[in-house]
Amino acid sequence: MDSGFVDCHCHISAQEFEEDLEDVIQRTKEAGVKTLVAVTEGVGEFERVLQLQERYPDLVAPCFGVHPLQVDGGLEQRSVKPQIGLDFTPWCAPSQQDKDDQLDVFIKQLSIAQELQLPVNVHSRSAAKVTISTMRKQGISRALLHNFAGKPSVALEGVKAGYLFSFPPAVCRNQQRDKLIQQIPLEHICLETDSPALGLEKHVRNEPRNITLCCQHIADLKGVSPETVKVVTAENAYRLFPKVSRR
């Protein structure tokens, strides 16, 4: 059976896809994508993702969480108060209190995942070391660190803990990430698009079909065939997300 691609982190419920969703889905399938792990940024998206799963049951797999940055009232983004993960960039978490708020929510979401025996799909930005150490302290054994950009030494701590790392098409234009990808074993790598963001070109809408680009780039860096990357990363994804059926 053709393993197909698994897009482990995709915002298919985003407004950017509403007008031509059918065409996007058609192109996704034609590119050989078998599963879209549909992530959320806020509670308001949960229902939309469930509707998409009902509409495309053989493709869409819901993945619910709350992003560490939330729009609070106006247009300004602030650290979440009550997507799973941490974002410690200075303009998003200017104070220690902001970081503490995010950490509290992160730990609560990790606890829910533990209670429900579910894996976590984690946003980590400028917080790689804290993210991985927190997950290890909380006893998390199944985790995906999406669009990971931390140091190779920190990534290898995650590898030791059994965590997986995914990379979007944007890595093709970021040579700084090449060394990191080369050091992470293929058995710990998954593919993602993070569409509609993080495509090959900045400010151009990314789509799930572009998963082929990061597959080719990782294959080139690893010195293996794109088919090998497709098969191994899909196996990694299904191992991480056992509730997703292999269609």
> Which pLDDT value is given to residue 174?
87
Structure tokens at 174: 């970021």
3-state helix, strand, coil in the chain (%, to 5): 45, 15, 35
Q: What angle do CA 148, 241, 70 make, to 5 degrees?
A: 50
pLDDT digits (tens, 9 = 90+) for 53-95: 999 999 999 999 887 766 454 445 554 444 788 989 888 888 9
Structure tokens at 133: 């150490």
Residues 6+ apart with CB under 8 A from 128: 145, 148, 149, 150, 151, 154, 155
- The band of 233, judged by pLDDT with boundaries at 50, 70 and 90, is very high
CATH assignment, 5-240: 3.20.20.140
100: three-class secondary structure by DSSP: helix
* R_g over Cα of the chain: 17
> Which pLDDT value is given to residue 245?
67
Instruction: Please tell me which residue, 217 or 81, carries the higher pLDDT value.
Output: 217
- Residue 137 class from Cβ within 10 Å (0-12 exposed, 13-18 middle, 19+ buried)? exposed
pLDDT digits (tens, 9 = 90+) for 132-183: 999 999 999 999 999 999 999 999 999 999 999 999 999 999 888 999 999 9
Q: Domain residue spans in the chain?
A: 5-240
Lowest mean pLDDT among 146-150, 231-235, 243-247: 243-247
Interval 104-109 mean pLDDT:
92
> Which pLDDT value is given to residue 68?
74
> Which pLDDT value is given to residue 67?
76
> Which pLDDT value is given to residue 169?
96
> How many Å apart are CA 160 and CA 176, to the nearest integer?
23
> How many Å apart are CA 41 and CA 64, to the nearest integer?
8
Q: Report the half-sphere exposure of 236 (CA within 13 A, side-chain side).
A: 25
> Which pLDDT value is given to residue 144?
97
> Which pLDDT value is given to residue 79?
46
Average pLDDT, the chain: 91
